[in-house]
Structure 1
Amino acid sequence: MQPAGPEPHPHTRPRPVHWLATATALAGLIAGAALLGPGDATATASPTWAPDARAARYPVDCGRASAEVVRQDPADLDGDGRPETAAVVRCPSGAGTPPGGLYVLTPPPAPGGTPRIVATLVDPRQGMSVTDLIVTEGTVSATLLGYSTARVPRCCPDRLRAVKWHWRNGKFVLTALPVAGRV
Structure 2
Amino acid sequence: MQHSAVPELELAHTNTRPIHWVATATALAGVVALSSGLQPDSAHAAQAAGPQTKSAPAAAAPATTGVAFPLDCGPVKAVVQKKASGDLDGDGRPETVAVVHCDAGMGTPPDGVYVLTQGAGAAEPRVVATLVAPKARETVTTFAVRDGAVLATLLGYSTADVPSCCPDVKETAKWQWQNGKFVRSIPGNAQNV
The alignment's TM-score, normalised by the length of structure 1, stands at 0.68
Report Cα offsets for 1:88-117 as digits up to 9, x if no partner. 010112322211110110025645x32111
For the 8 Å contact 2:152–2:173, the answer to whether it is kept is yes
The counterpart of 1:93, out of the listed 104, 108, 128, is: 104
Identity among equivalent positions (%) equals: 51
Match of 2:45 in 1: none
Stretches of 4+ aligned residues off by more than 3 angstroms: 108-111
Bigger relative CO (Cα 8 Å, ≥ 6 apart): 1
What is the one-letter code of the residue matched to 1:96? G
In 2, Cα distance between equivalents of 1:64 and 1:108: 31
Match of 1:142 in 2: 152
Match of 2:95 in 1: 84
Deviation at 1:46? 9.9
2:76 pairs with 1:62: no
Task: List aligned pairs for 1:113-152, cutoff 5 A.
Answer: 113-152=123-162
SS in 2 for 1:125: helix
In 1, Cα distance between equivalents of 2:57 and 2:80: 25
In 1, Cα distance between equivalents of 2:65 and 2:175: 22
Report Cα offsets for 1:60-100 as digits up to 9, x if no partner. 01111111100010101111111100000101123222111
Deviation at 1:158? 0.8
In 1, Cα distance between equivalents of 2:184 and 2:149: 10
SS in 2 for 1:55: coil
Task: List aligned pairs for 1:150-161, cutoff 5 A.
Answer: 150-161=160-171
For the 8 Å contact 1:47–1:107, the answer to whether it is kept is no
1:174–1:46: structure 2 CA closer, same or farther, 3 Å change rule? farther
Which runs of 5 or more structure 1 residues have no equivalent in the other structure? 1-44
For the 8 Å contact 2:76–2:104, the answer to whether it is kept is no
Return the index of the structure with the highest Cα Rg. 2
SS in 2 for 1:53: coil
> Would you say how many aligned residue pairs link Structure 1 and Structure 2?
138
> Over the residues paired in the alignment, what is the CA RMSD in angstroms?
2.0
Match of 1:72 in 2: 83
Match of 1:107 in 2: 118
SS in 1 for 2:135: helix
In 2, Cα distance between equivalents of 1:109 and 1:66: 29
Which runs of 5 or more structure 2 residues have no equivalent in the other structure? 1-55
What is the one-letter code of the residue matched to 2:165? C
In 2, Cα distance between equivalents of 1:121 and 1:79: 18
In 1, Cα distance between equivalents of 2:82 and 2:192: 24
2:146 pairs with 1:162: no
Match of 1:173 in 2: 183
Match of 1:52 in 2: 63
